[in-house]
Chain A
Amino acid sequence: MAFGTIKNVRKVFPVGELGSRATEPVVALDDASFSFERGELIALLGPSGCGKTTLLRIVAGLIAKTSGSVTIGGREVTGPLGDYGFVFQAPSLMPWRSVIDNVLFPMEILRRSDKAARARASELLALVGLATFHHARPHQLSGGMQQRVALCRALIHQPNLLLMDEPFGALDELTRLEMNDLLLRIRQETGASVLFVTHSISEAVYLADQVIVFSRRPARVSQQIPVSLPYPRNQAMRFTPAFTQAERAASEALGIVPHVEALAS
């Protein structure tokens, strides 16, 4: 049985819940179904505002779904399970804590903030290249460095599943490429399963085992595209036929380029 199963998930925001301007219920997510194995990295790709983020929050148990079912690691998700890592678009660090205390925040909440946790935090910071920044304050770091701290914070409690909501969307292109490689390296070392929301086609293809493509609102899963590139990946793979093929398939699913079959006929 698959590690994670999302089945016919639908989310309708009733009038008034998304602010007073909406005059009728908003269907954020119409029908999303897909499944993934333990350790897989799944990219959720789609136009902005298409409900990918909503799906991520449903999987996290932060908001309730209208219908459908979400099962992660054999457990039905009805509320927060407490063993997910979450990375947001903004680093969202706590300015009142030092870097290492930011990383340790989940352990404090889970009441597991001990020596071993500290050692693991140091390890993670070293892994992302911030070994010498333990006692720095977040505002002293660049955006990319802050996001790396946020990544450590998401991994400190050894979560089953890492949920990432356009985590590198606000970074410049070069930093973003670096972060992509860093994420893949971390995934390899921790074996965590990852759900990664993005609206960058090339980022989705570069990172993922499978790309789940969403249509415009109301969002449905329009296609599930396996990426046949082997891991570990490197930037040179961006220029291989397999990469281009996957990019093309995702673009077709998004309706940006016409289907090959349509052209042929």
Chain B
Amino acid sequence: MTARSLTRIVYPMTGLLLIVVAWGLACWLGRLPVVVLPSPDKVLYAFAGNIPLLLEESWVTLKETLYGFGLALLLGLPMAVAVANSRTLNLMFYPLLIALQSVPKVALAPIILVWLGPDLQSKLAIAWLVAFFPIIVDTAAGLRATPKELLELAHSLKATRTQILFKVQFPAALPFVMTGAKVAITLAVIGAVIGEFVGSSEGLGFLLLTATSQLDTPLAFAALFALSILGVLVYLMVEAVELLIAPWLPPAPERH
């Protein structure tokens, strides 16, 4: 076993194991009721016993997350280009965008539910809303951080605006876009779950609510774990895409 796999796998696993042991000990020694804190084995049992159900609900939440995230990319990227390349649009909308970013989007969830109903659309909309801002803000920052020399080089060759955008600005901004996308995808999961909390009849968030209302805490924990796994998976997906389209990238630039 190499030193690298030791530090990257064995140490985190040991840490996790320690926490699970401490958790088990706390349940056993503290004689906590299952409703308050189920022991690890009960959670594992609930997880293993409900795999079809968990998969089904995860699929719903995953769809809401990915649709919301996809829409955020689809709208965020062109808007970032507009804001970064036009002084007028920038002056008109950028301060507004920053101001909107500080609005707690969770507070909008009930309103969106009223507008769009309890189906996929409202969840998608909330996921989109929370994922949209990091994408547009980071992309615009990246576009504007294009090295001046590269722009001058392109101008000195009489490059067209389209050439400058696609051959210079956008590739230069890609590290920023990917950083924004990584933040956005985790936020999109949160957005989807919030949507499910506020009004839904399916999804992991809905399962979590139902389980707690029925005092089935082990199942609630199992849903929670499914949610974490989902969160990690979608994050890894974005990272894989990053490796695929931008293998030259040095370690991600510091944000803000």
Contacts and interface: CB of A to CB of B under 8 A. Distances in A.
Given A80-B157, A80-B158, A139-B250, A86 B167 contact: no
B155 A62 contact: yes
Contacts of B147: 92
B171 A94 contact: yes
B149 A90 contact: yes
A105 interface: yes
Given A96-B174, A96-B248, A109-B167, A82 B149 contact: no
Given A105-B167, A109-B157, A86 B152 contact: yes
A105 B150 CA distance: 11
Interface string A127-147: 000000000010100000000
Contacts of A86: 152-153, 156
A9 to B, nearest CB: 18
Contacts, number: 55
Contacts of B250: 95, 139
A64 to B, nearest CB: 13
B104 to A, nearest CB: 34
Contacts of B154: 109
B108 interface: no
Interface in B121-164: 147, 149-150, 152-159, 163
A84 B248 contact: no
Label chain A's interface by main secondary structure: loop
Contacts of A84: 156
B246 interface: yes
Contacts of B156: 60-62, 80, 82, 84, 86
A110 interface: yes
A95 B158 contact: no
A90 B248 CA distance: 19
Which 8 residue pairs spanning A and B have beta carbons closest together?
A: A92-B149, A82-B158, A109-B157, A88-B149, A96-B171, A109-B159, A80-B156, A96-B248
24 contacts: A57-B152, A60-B156, A62-B152, A62-B156, A80-B155, A80-B156, A80-B157, A82-B156, A86-B153, A86-B156, A90-B149, A92-B149, A92-B153, A94-B168, A96-B172, A96-B174, A96-B248, A105-B167, A109-B157, A109-B158, A109-B163, A109-B167, A110-B157, A139-B248
